[in-house]
Amino acid sequence: MTPLHLGHLSPVEQGLILLVAFGPFLLAAGVVLYLRATGVEEDEEPESTPT
């Protein structure tokens, strides 16, 4: 069986594929770097006191 090939992708299509493939990882890395730079920390759970 011969795979169907539709030809080469245009530069716009190549850019869209790269954006979809790597965009979420770049966005996540940007958010992590931003939160580290601004000093935002995770909320600590309050210590439970025995009653």
CA distances from 49 to 42, 45, 46 (A): 21, 12, 9
* Residue predicted with more confidence, 42 or 7: 7
Q: How confident is the model at residue 5 (pLDDT cuts 50, 70, 90)?
A: confident
- Would you state the pLDDT for residue 7? 80
* Residue predicted with more confidence, 28 or 2: 28
CA 24 to chain centre: 3
- Would you state the pLDDT for residue 39? 84
CA distances from 22 to 25, 26, 31 (A): 5, 6, 15
Mean pLDDT of the chain: 84
Q: What percent of the chain has pLDDT over 90?
A: 49
Question: 10: which DSSP letter?
Answer: P
Our CA angle for 11, 30, 27, nearest 5°, is 45
